[in-house]
Chains A and B, each alone.
Chain A
Amino acid sequence: MSKNSGFTRFLRNLEPGRPLDRDDRDFEEVWTALRRLLVSELKRRSLWSLPPACLGIYGCATWDDPDAVEELVADCFVFVFAERFRSLKAQLRHKPHVEGLILRNVRNFLHETQRRHDPVGFRVFTVLRSAVRGALSAGELQVIAGSPAVRHDTVLAFRLGASPEEAARSEELRPHVLRWNDDLLPDLITARGWDVRQVTARLERHLRGLAAEGLRAFRFHDLVDALRQDARARWRAVWVHSPEGIPLRLEEDGFAAVARLVEVPGEDERESLHRLLACLEQSVERVAEPPARSRDYLRRLLVFLKSHAADAPEEQGAQGKGLPSHRQLAQLLAIPRERLPDLFRTLRDLAEACRRKISGEESS
């Protein structure tokens, strides 16, 4: 990023008591530079090919929709320049410019936004990268091409001297990955804190097994992609068509009703959906226990809902007027099946309370 992209000048000129309208030209310049930076980061991280809902931009099918990019620039602007204004000003007193810091903040923004809105994709990436780094430091894997810091372009091999051309194709990796996910899910997605390291160690063991199965090299991106696609497909498979003419049972309706809230929101509902998910996240942390593990199970259901919201509209559409199969959902999220109806009811009540709160905020 150029040191003269104007972020520093823009920040230096912003002072309390000084009208913002004076800096209109600077604002436009910063907006354009931020948009350029975001687009290049989206492409660098292979996020450009994912639906914008993976970064909390609902209602747009692809990033080619100019509204999607403008919404993302606004979210990023608020994250970097408004919310972190004090900290940027603090750093600016000791540095000639803060362009590098802005770039870091933009990356932190994308990291955090993907973590919140695409829990499946984010978790698969971070856990797999950590497992690969473990195998690298143990000397079991070597980087033979691409970034040594383990990025999408990194090619890894089990012995030095292998060439990047020997890297296994995605189709070759897929059958192995399916077996891994049989063992790793749902912990790969739902584990928290200390348990993340345990699931990382399990993944590292699977990774080492690849050499014994005759795979000598692979591209990091291909492995992430295969794991991620399989995990997403399993989560989508939970939705089943409801039989025609049979009314929904109340407890089924409870979860389906919450799920509908996050499906294909209209343009008018984007901000509300953002706030609904954030409100649900906070409310779940305040749910009383016992019944034991209620919070943990509700967190898992919420991760499932977020993943559902991040699916492309056509994928949500394919699920039709579907309902989650209790058996599959219980299995997928490792929740005792008999607990689901109560959990659905709680989630629906929380969602209703959140909606009331949000509409109250909007009308006031």
Chain B
Amino acid sequence: MKPRDPKVRSREALREAVDRYGREHARVAARGPEPWPGDLYVLEETAGFPVEWLVVDRTPGPCRLVATDTNPALGSTDVPVPAEVEGGPLSVRCAVSLQVGVETLRRGERTGTVAPEILDPVRRRLEELAAGSLDAAPDPELEDWHAEVLAPARAALLPPQLKAPGPPPRHFRRRAVAVAAIFLRLAALGGLSALAWQFHRGELQARSEIDRLVHERQALESEHQRQLAALREIQAAQEQRPPEPPPPVSVPLQPLINLVYAVFYPGETRGALREIAIPDAATHLFLLFYVGDQAPCTEYELAIVRRGAPLLTVKELKPLPGKEVSVAVPRAQLSNGSYQFRLRGMCEGERRELGVYEARLKEEAR
């Protein structure tokens, strides 16, 4: 192949990009002005940062936004919009999301849309983050980008009461000192009664607002504790309940057939969600975990977690000759959705976490 002249190659790519921009821009302009899931916005509050906001959900109240940018480096919580897909190339930073009123969007400018198929993985990633099955901390390769661009952009959109308190700007401090000096002089002159009364009222209002927020927080905290206690009780009851006797066998035992199996190896990473397609006929999901990369343990246990809550714990797993442990879980116990499999080992008298694996179960497409 004859190599193309670098300038010719660049001009051709630019020409295609400008044409594509024209087509996409016309499509966006033809739609009504209302924000809609899939829309991209540049907002006045964050215009100083190279981010666009993707509308993920819109309700009558707030809209959920997620930050997007054109830095191609991806972390475990990000979703890429490929270059060939509408709106791309973009990196959707699911760990940088927030809710804003629709008015904020109406003040901003819609700059494009992303293809609808991108919204599904974004919503799934947000669910996983909310459930705590993904870590929101940036990966080492993205630390700088997060600190310099994403975190300040998000902070700029947050309402003032939610922003982290920092030292007041220096000119405010100077002004505060000057104002205080004036007040002191006026007080010395004894002419401050009306102002003092207003100041006092303001202070009372502020105090009552603080009290209200403290009460609100206490109420939320106690509600949270109550829910936790209820969950613990349920869990304790489940653990104490004696094992139910096996149901009477009315038919001869049958072999398990049509198993779907999934093998998990250490090193499969968090965030790399694995999909397991299960055909209709499958009655059991056969899970196999490789444990040969670490010192052998006498016994293993597997906890299956759904949306951050334990669903099932299987104990007394023994290693097989192939350095694997295996579990067959009835399909009826695992509906479609995302799960976390936590493997622990009883090694040298202590319990060790050996691996956390994530998978999403779904019906096999017919």
Contacts and interface: CB of A to CB of B under 8 A. Distances in A.
Contacts of A85: 14, 17-18, 20-21
B42 to A, nearest CB: 5
Contact of B18 (A16, A83, A196): A16
Interface stretch (B122-130, B138-146, B250-258, B326-334): B138-146
A108 interface: yes
A193 B76 CA distance: 6
Nearest to A78: B13
B18 A293 contact: no
**Interface majority SS (helix, strand, loop, mixed), chain B:** mixed
Interface residues of A, number: 59
B366 interface: no
Interface stretch (A41-49, A86-94, A310-318, A345-353): A86-94
Interface string A16-35: 11001000000100010000
B14 A82 contact: yes
Interface in B9-50: 9-11, 13-25, 40, 42, 44, 47, 50
Given A83-B17, A292-B263, A193 B6 contact: no
Interface stretch (A230-238, A246-254, A265-273): A265-273
B52 interface: yes
A273 to B, nearest CB: 11
Given A16-B18, A194-B271, A268-B2, A130 B50 contact: no
| Interface residues of chain A: helix, strand, loop or mixed (majority) | helix
Nearest to A69: B6
Contacts of B143: 130, 133
B6 A70 contact: yes
Contacts of A78: 9-10, 13-14
B270 interface: yes
A91 B83 contact: no
B73 interface: yes
A83 B268 contact: no
A104 B18 contact: no
A93 B111 contact: yes
A197 interface: yes
A85 B70 CA distance: 10
A16 B267 CA distance: 48
A70 B3 CA distance: 13
A351 to B, nearest CB: 17
Interface in A111-157: 111-112, 115, 126-127, 129-130, 133, 149
Contacts of A270: 3
Interface of B: 1-4, 6-7, 9-11, 13-25, 40, 42, 44, 47, 50, 52, 70-73, 76, 83, 87, 89-90, 109, 111-112, 135, 139-141, 143-144, 263, 265, 267-272, 290
Given A105-B70, A191-B267, 18 more contacts: A14-B18, A74-B10, A77-B10, A84-B89, A85-B20, A86-B20, A87-B90, A90-B109, A91-B47, A108-B70, A108-B73, A133-B143, A192-B269, A192-B272, A193-B269, A200-B140, A292-B265, A292-B290
